[in-house]
Amino acid sequence: MSQPEALVVDDLKRLDIGSAEFRRDAFETYRELNAECPVHRVVITNGDQGGEQQGFFNRPIIFVTGYDEASAALLDPRFSVDAFSMMTEEQLAQMPETAEEFRPLRRSVLSVDPPDHTRLRKLVQKNFTAGEIEKLRPRIREIAEALVDEAIAAAEARGETAPNRTMELISQFSYPLPMTVIAEMLGVPEADRDDVRRWSENLLSSQRATPDQQEDTLRNLRAFIDYLRTLFAAKRVEPGDDLISAMVQAEEDGDKLDEDELLSMVFILIVAGHITTVNLIASTVFALLTHPDQIAKLKANRSLVKNTVEETLRYWGPAETTTARFAKEEVELGGVTIGRGEPLIAALAAADRDPDRFANPEAFDIERADANRHMAFGKGLHVCLGAPLARLEGQVALEVLLDRLPDLALGVPAEEITWQASFLRSLTALPVKF
């Protein structure tokens, strides 16, 4: 494993991918990088968190912007998602201690290779097929309708009248919708959902926590884990018709899922299950409201709802990059030699605007015939488990908004709407009027 360490870090391009500036100019950066070469060796920094090598920060990493190359890497069994499997005994010993609280989360479905990955994924896969998820359509519609009812009631209580009633679409609609859906699927009681939401937000923000905030993160994580362990125990005694009960049963039917694996699965479903979809819904609305020709087409032809969601996933996919992969041996990709152990991330958002794959990629076109060939859900073994659910939630949300709020418009000039400083493509807020 000599190559990554031997590289001269100073000569490499730096990408501060979690910063607001990067997010604002991301597509220009991707275009420039990709025009130069579809595979780059860069250094990813983490805002003002210092220059220490941590995770994939502040060390050379392969950053893939080309569609074909990203696709090839994600389908290539010579890459592993398991950072630890690539390390020597000596490197493992040098790893900074992981806080005890994070230990159960270290081996989630997204961070293990086969055969563990196959076993973990199989346990939940059957609940996330397009057919199974489609059964949720009426309930998702009901939740979305209720949120619109609440927003209307709140606006009217403030004395507002159509078409000048207002709401902040993310907090009042696009956030609670997927959160409620995943909480119901898992069987999290309604009374506990605000706590779960707070804990999972805290877990997400922990990626960027300063040392001062770490203690707070750990306290929250402890509370979340204690809560879930108690919930698992309750579901063992009294199983319901929900996913946690099903997983608890699977755990008891043999050594299929141990308690830590169960914890990480529930964590990933809650966290991955809502935060990205929030952004898909908000970005779809923002894209339409800033492209009047496209929303006019959609209103005239509602069968375009499905493709509108696909085009938003291509144009503003919520997960701009995959997690890291590690070369198990030397690999050639797009003319670059990747050393054994070297990390790689696929820039899905860049691949989805690769001009060699999508004609006129910078245009938001809801009639694009190949929009659904995007890579917003990743590819290969770790392709998004929740893709059918995210798609359905996106479609239902859009249908309900079009049906119920036909005059929906931006509540502030488009220039005032900003992207968050985050690894995800997420809007800071989306004020609308209706």
Torsion angle of the four alpha carbons 350, 353, 357, 359, in this order, in degrees rounded to the nearest 10: -170
By C-beta, is 155 or 261 nearer to ligand HEM?
Answer: 261
**188 forms part of the interface with ligand HEM (CB under 6 A):** no
Task: Using the structure block, give the residue that is written with the tokens 């929900």.
Answer: 242
Window 272 to 291, contacts with ligand HEM (CB under 6 A)? 272-273, 276-277, 280
Query: Does the footprint of ligand HEM cover residue 140 (CB under 6 A)?
Result: no
Residue 8 beta carbon to ligand HEM: minimum distance, rounded to whole angstroms: 28
- CA dist 104 and 237 (Å) reads 23
Q: Helices (H) and strands (E) in the chain — how many of each?
A: 17, 11
Residue 376 is a binding residue for ligand HEM (CB under 6 A): yes
How far, in Å, CA of 66 to CA of 68, rounded?
Answer: 6
Which helix (H) or strand (E) segment is 168 a member of? strand 166-168
The site string for ligand HEM over 146-185 (x = CB under 6 A, - otherwise) reads ------------------------------------x---
Q: How far is the CB of 381 from ligand HEM (least distance, A)?
A: 6
Q: Does 425 bind ligand HEM (CB under 6 A)?
A: no
Q: Which is nearer to ligand HEM, 107 or 433 (CB)?
A: 107
Q: Which stretch binds ligand HEM (CB under 6 A): 42-50, 241-249, 284-292, 385-393?
A: 385-393
Indicate whether 83 belongs to the interface with ligand HEM (CB under 6 A).
no
Min dist. Cβ of residue 121 to ligand HEM (A): 5
The candidate with the shortest Cα–Cα distance to 265, out of 432, 123, 371, is 123
The answer to whether residue 110 forms part of the interface with ligand HEM (CB under 6 A) is yes
How many residues contact ligand HEM, by CB under 6 A? 26
Sheet architecture: strand order including 79-80: 13-15, 39-44, 60-64, 343-346, 325-327, 79-80
Measured CA distances, 24 to 20, 146, 422, 423, 427 (Å)? 6, 34, 11, 12, 11
Taking the C-alpha atoms of residue 111 and residue 323, their distance in angstroms, rounded to an integer, is 9
CB-based contacts of 349, cutoff 8 Å, min separation 6: 26, 27, 30, 316, 317, 320, 321, 376, 425
Tell me: does residue 318 bind ligand HEM (CB under 6 A).
yes
Which residue is it, tokens 């968190």? 49
CB-closest chain residue to ligand HEM: 386
Decide: is 396 part of the binding site for ligand HEM (CB under 6 A). no
Does position 41 bind ligand HEM by CB under 6 A?
Answer: no
Contact range with ligand HEM by CB under 6 A, out of 14-22, 54-62, 207-215, 265-273: 265-273
**Angle, vertex CA 166, rays to CA 165 and CA 171, nearest 5:** 145
Minimum distance between the CB of residue 395 and ligand HEM, rounded to whole angstroms? 12
162 vs 383, beta carbon nearer ligand HEM: 383
d(CA 159, CA 137): 33
3-state secondary structure of 330: coil
Please give the residue ranges that form the binding site for ligand HEM (CB under 6 A): 109-110, 121, 182, 268-269, 272-273, 276-277, 280, 317-319, 322-323, 348, 376-378, 382, 384-386, 389-390
